[in-house]
Amino acid sequence: MSTNPRPTSEAAGGAANLTKPIFEAMQQGAGIYFAMPQKLMQANLEATTSAFGFINRCMAAQADAWSKMSSANDLAKASDVQRAFLEAVSKDSAEEVSKLAEIAKKNFAVMSSLATAGVNKGLSPGNSS
């Protein structure tokens, strides 16, 4: 009694039907997987750009304060220069913290949506289906 090692077309079609959803899930998972590092890099670049801009503004404000301080010929004027500098830097610091918080909030939402997309497509870790 011999067995035919070649699969029938019905068996081959059944195998294709079984592997198609697996392949599609793998493609979706790979798309989400590769999108995350790109989004993280964009978030880091945005935050870094903002931070360097803040540092630049602080350095310019400090240079300006030192320039004004060099021409202060009494304690009252020196005190005014110092007060104005501290007020400006405090305001800029508060604005920068707010800006960085918005960047973080926006990027958290993007990352959450990517993760949610993966879970909604059945791509969560430990999913055996």
Predicted local confidence at residue 74, as pLDDT: 93
Q: pLDDT band at residue 67, thresholds of 50, 70 and 90?
A: very high
Provide the angle, in degrees to the nearest 10, between the axes of the packed helices 9-70 and 75-120.
Answer: 180
Predicted local confidence at residue 129, as pLDDT: 45
**Using H for helix, E for strand and C for coil, what is the string for 28-84?**
HHHHHHHHHHHHHHHHHHHHHHHHHHHHHHHHHHHHHHHHHHHCCCCHHHHHHHHHH
- Condensed to tens digits (0 to 9), the pLDDT of residues 85-101 reads 999 999 999 999 999 99
Q: Which residue has the higher pLDDT, 128 or 50?
A: 50
Range scoring the smallest mean pLDDT among 98-102, 109-113, 125-129: 125-129
- Condensed to tens digits (0 to 9), the pLDDT of residues 6-43 reads 655 565 566 667 777 777 777 776 777 777 778 788 88
Residue 71 has pLDDT above 80, yes or no: yes
Residue 57 has pLDDT above 70, yes or no: yes
How many CB atoms sit inside 10 A of residue 78's CB?
15
Q: pLDDT band at residue 123, thresholds of 50, 70 and 90?
A: low
Domain boundaries, the chain: 36-120
| Alpha carbons 107 and 43: distance in angstroms, whole number | 6
User: What mean pLDDT, rounded, does the chain reach?
Assistant: 80
Residue 128 has pLDDT above 50, yes or no: no
How many CB atoms sit inside 10 A of residue 118's CB?
21
List the end-to-end C-alpha distance of the chain, in Å, as a whole number: 39
| Alpha carbons 82 and 65: distance in angstroms, whole number | 7
